[in-house]
Structure 1
Amino acid sequence: MGLFDFLSDKGEQKPVEPAANPAAGGTDFFGNNSNPAATGNSYTVVSGDSLSKIAKNHYGDAAKWPKIYEANKAIIGNNPDLIEVGQVLTLPSL
């Protein structure tokens, strides 16, 4: 079957439907959870992240970043601006 064979007028062939509804959750292209409401208790830092960006994405409010910092002080250290790619942070419930 060729790439455009499903366009032929055979009637019985249809394009394949997607396996899952992307709005139902899962991960995006970068492996981030695409449904923040279904987020577990951890988050892996990716390039370009900051605690305020993570707070905005997961809590809807960037000003909640100190909650994430307090829960992860042992991992992050004394400077909340120095998070590293690959760190697994605990996201406390609010």
Structure 2
Amino acid sequence: MGLFDFLKKGEEKPVQKPVAQPAAPKPVAAQPVAAPQAAAQDTYTVKSGDSLSKIAKNFYGDASQWHKIHQANLDKIKDPNLIEVGWQLKIPKA
């Protein structure tokens, strides 16, 4: 088909491809944002025979990291040598 062939056929016009219109931005639903601290910790219930160093060894593989657990639970643990069975402790991720 030549450049002027469409004129020979009368009213027929070349087909133009539609131009894609950019989509309108979709409204974003408000989603609750989790507190960064909540996502970066586990919870552990103290059992009989536990100590902070034993718990640290279990979670971190290093008993000397007990101070991380102590710092995360200063509201409960006044003396790191005295923890009570049943306490729910926050365990920060390594």
Q: In which range does the TM-score fall when normalised by the shorter chain?
A: 0.5 to 0.7
Residue 85 of structure 1: aligned partner: 85
- Write 1 or 2 for the structure with the bigger share of strand: 2
**Per the alignment, in what secondary structure is the counterpart of residue 55 of structure 1?**
helix
* Structure 2 runs not aligned, ≥5 long: 1-40
Q: TM-score, structure 1 length as denominator?
A: 0.55
**Identical-pair percentage:** 59
Structure 1 residue runs of 4 or more that deviate by more than 3 Å after TM superposition: none
Aligned to 1:68: 69
Larger Rg: 2
2:52 is the counterpart of 1:51: yes
Q: Deviations over 1:27-79 (max 9, x none)?
A: xxxxxxxxxxxxx61000000000000000111000000000000011112x1
For 1:41 and 1:58, locate their aligned partners in 2 and report how far apart those are by CA, in whole Å: 9
Q: Which has the higher contact order (CA 8 A, sep 6+)?
A: 2
Higher helix content, 1 or 2: 1
Q: CA RMSD in A?
A: 1.0
**Structure 1 gaps, min length 5:** 1-39
Distance 1:73 1:81 in 2: 13
SS for the counterpart of 1:76 is: coil
